[in-house]
Amino acid sequence: MYLGIKAVQPLPEFRLLLTFENGEQRVFDLTPYLDTGVFKALRDENTFKDVRISFDTVEWPNGADLCPETLYTESLPLEESQAAAME
């Protein structure tokens, strides 16, 4: 079972603030993906900021998307992400 995405907000440094259907907020770092395939276009910050909800995940106008399972397992809870940024 996976949790769908209900809200997305682009953050600085190619990160996404994700709100999952259970209300949990997590931060996903897209940086590791920016050198591959359709994700290369997202290096442009304006293109990156065009992220939107599509069904139960996120998508960009160029067709780039990630499955919700990946977004959940490779993201950090908001609190952990904020603590890591302060270090």
As a dihedral over the C-alpha atoms of residue 16, residue 28, residue 2, residue 6, rounded to 10 degrees, the angle is -10
DSSP 44: S
pLDDT-based confidence at residue 69 (cuts at 50, 70, 90): very high
pLDDT of residue 60: 98
Q: What residue segments make up the domains of the chain, in order of their start?
A: 5-86
Q: Which fold has domain 5-86?
A: NE0471 N-terminal domain-like (3.30.2020)
pTM equals 0.90
pLDDT of residue 19: 97
* Backbone phi, psi, residue 85, to 5°: -65, -25
Mean pLDDT score of the chain: 92
Structure confidence by residue, pLDDT tens digits, 74-86 = 999 998 776 666 5
pLDDT above 90 (res 2) = no
